[in-house]
Chains A and B, each alone.
Chain A
Amino acid sequence: MADTTRTKPTVDQARRLVFESRKLFNTGVSVLRLSQWLAVWLYLAAGVLLVLKVTGVGGTARGMLPLWIGATGMGVVLTSLIVSYRQRYSMLDAAAWLDLRTEGGGTLIQLVTSEGDVRTPNLTWDIRPGLRYGVVARRLILPVALATAVVMMPWKEGAELLEASLDSRAETVEKRVEKARKLGVVREAEARAFKRDLERARAAGTRSPEAGAESIDTIDKRLDQAVLKRAKLSREALDAAEKLLAEAENPSGPGLPSAAAEVGKMLDDLYEREAQAQEVRRLLKRIAEKMGLDGAATAEEIMSSATSLESLDAKQLKEIARALRRGQFTLLDKMARSKGLLSGKEAKAHLATLVAGAAKAGGREGAGTGQGTGGGADAAGAGHGGVARGPGEAPLRFGNATDKSKVRFKARPFERGGGPLPGIMVGKRRIAGGVAPPPEFQTPNRSGVVFDGTEGGSQGNADLGPRGREVTRRYFTEATSDE
């Protein structure tokens, strides 16, 4: 507490006290004025927001509100800073205040107005004025609380406001459609359809804003689904490319044709997307020319023919797989980076999951996608994280090469007299269940394989993928040799 002992300070000490006090006064006033302006502005902004939210009127005000709040807030802060900067208290003012508080009898005033020595008797020298920031903070509590409460309040969707916001929402969705089209996520035809639907929704909105809003919401969701569908396809294409690369390590392995066929299917989709498919198209064109398959209608046909004719070596398959992977990874990367491509939170989360997997895949191989930080662009840059990672380096560790024994689809002989049970996975295909054999073959055989009923019926004819057929073939071959 105050020590009221009276001491006799030196003139220099007293002058310094006056100087410091003057600075304090001016700072204090600036802080106070700033808080006053801020409080007034907060009340004003909260009031305007409250009126708009409660009444639901204001037309486009809702859209303009962030701009208005930002501009006026900036203006208030700048103005108050400029106004507050003005020095209000002179040395004489500060000296007079101190003189009054210390009962200095004019001594401190005399100190700042005269150059010569001044006697300084009987000053209460322990004066230490200080800024009370708590007062300033308390001044702002109520307006801040009010503004926060108003911001948290839900909007009342007045008819006017809803109608006015329809255009804005439709424009937003249209922008997203355009963005998706540019990325190649939706096809031209799809984009046109979306835009046409949006026009219809707008037209409906003029008659019934609620119906218009609902239509736009539906289109919004459809767009999300289309984007996610494409992302899923890309992800599957990546997986297929990975598999083909793995199988290509062992050209004599049974899975290669199947993997190549899968890649072929994926490539079909790429034909529709010029931007991502150029490299693959070029490769396939070369292959088709080499094989004399110029007339092949689809990439799947080309790939199927290529593998069946064994005219493509493992290196070429790898090349195609890498090109495919690069293209799909690039697309996923762009999708992940494209802001506002998706509207729903769940859709965004789903896309993030898909992209994260892709990033992992890209980083593992380090195949290079040309995307900078995405996907481990090359071996040297591997470990820089995938597209879903944040900025900065994040080391990735690479262990030994994947054990071949852990390849996902490993050939496994069926038990004698049996076959794959309905629903069992063979390769990426699910064996169709519920295919009933003829009554004469109602035996413990529950393979679902349909036999042709010939004598000795060792020859199976199942609706299986190439890989499944290979497994079946091997099974029966081995069974025969055992006998």
Chain B
Amino acid sequence: MSDEQNAHVRERILEVEKALGEVILGKPALIRNFMTGVLARGHILLEGLPGLGKTLMVRAFTALSGLTHRRIQFTPDLMHLDITGSYILVEQEGKGREFRFQEGPIFGNLILADEINRASPKTQSALLEAMQERRVTVLSTTHDLPRPFMVMATQNPIELEGTYPLPEAQLDRFLFKLEVGDVPADVLERLVMERGRGDLPELSPLLDRETLLEAMRIVEGLPISRPVAAYAARLVRGTHEAPGVRYGASPRAVLAIAMAARALAFLSNRDTVGFEDVREVALPALRHRIVLDYQTRLEGVRADDIVEKLLDGVDALDRNPPSNVVGTLS
């Protein structure tokens, strides 16, 4: 693909990002990470207090991207087959009765798994195969999911009653865990002035499925150099050696970092992946993959703290020139 075509695709993606910024006010970094996750074909877990716009952001992206989307409201009584779909007995005239597979809401390009931690682990596990292999198996029959397939899940971190923490196996399948933070006062003021009842502004698709797939292909084709890959690897390896960590990030984490770094480089109008890209995506890619030990959790240390320490402590280069011989920049 020529540079002009690449530029065109990038431009369309950036338009979507800009439009998202008009919907979710005051969260450019969150939106950049969200778009990065999308371009990396990753699933995204959005965590934040109620009312911060998690669901709104996914809905807005759905509206802007032109993808087929489904929404699954996770409730305690939601069943496995409610997600994947199941065989139902259908009677047809002249043909008798037969079992036909009725697709569940998982069959869509963009799945909004709202309040994902309110369903039981048995139900949540319905997503495991879908998220990793992009297909579902029901009664020994495997059904492919449409491309692209992305799960955008939201969860509330403070309510414990009636919720089930996501199992590590499922958390690991999310490319990013994005934390939706507080909204500053000026943004709140702007909300009051512009949004009235809080309805989603009218959005029309700025993107189609093919363009998005093309962008994803470009991202996949971006080269990542050995020193940058080595940096990502050292970061992931560092999660295993950091104090207070019971289980470090899996190899899936380093692949996630690499893919996300490519996507970020693409969004930053670069053809190559740099160390800064890795640093930018390391936190959302690693924070949900680290399991802290009990003592550390009691001390109030969060996985974010561990990752930030790693980013400060791990050298980007595995072979630094001697700083006391080579001077700083002139």
Contacts and interface: CB of A to CB of B under 8 A. Distances in A.
What is the interface residue range for chain A against chain B? 35 or more
A113 B271 CA distance: 14
Contact of B274 (A31, A89, A104, A135): A104
B321 A92 contact: no
A104 to B, nearest CB: 6
Contacts of B270: 105-107, 119, 121
Interface stretch (B163-171, B193-201, B223-231): B223-231
A100 interface: yes
B173 to A, nearest CB: 28
Given A89-B319, A100-B317, A132 B329 contact: no
Interface stretch (A122-130, A172-180, A265-273): A122-130
B225 A29 contact: no
B148 to A, nearest CB: 26
A100 to B, nearest CB: 5
B276 interface: yes
B17 interface: no
Interface in A85-134: 88-89, 92-97, 99-101, 103-107, 109-110, 113-114, 118-119, 121, 124, 126-132
B265 interface: yes
Contact of A128 (B269, B276, B317, B330): B330
B273 interface: yes
A100 B329 CA distance: 12
A324 B116 CA distance: 122
Contacts of A132: 324-327
B313 interface: no
A107 B274 contact: yes
Nearest to A31: B325
Contacts of B275: 96, 99-100, 106
Interface residues of B, number: 30
A109 B228 contact: yes
Contact of B319 (A2, A93, A99, A114): A93
Given A110-B225, A132-B325, 11 more contacts: A24-B326, A32-B324, A92-B225, A93-B319, A103-B274, A104-B274, A106-B272, A106-B275, A106-B277, A113-B223, A127-B330
A28 interface: yes
8 contacts: A2-B330, A25-B326, A99-B227, A105-B270, A107-B270, A110-B223, A121-B269, A131-B325
Contacts of B320: 97
Interface string A44-64: 000000000000000000000
Given A92-B227, A96-B227, A110-B223, A129 B329 contact: yes
Contact of A32 (B265, B319, B325): B325
A280 B225 CA distance: 93
Given A97-B321, A100-B316, A110-B225, A129 B326 contact: yes
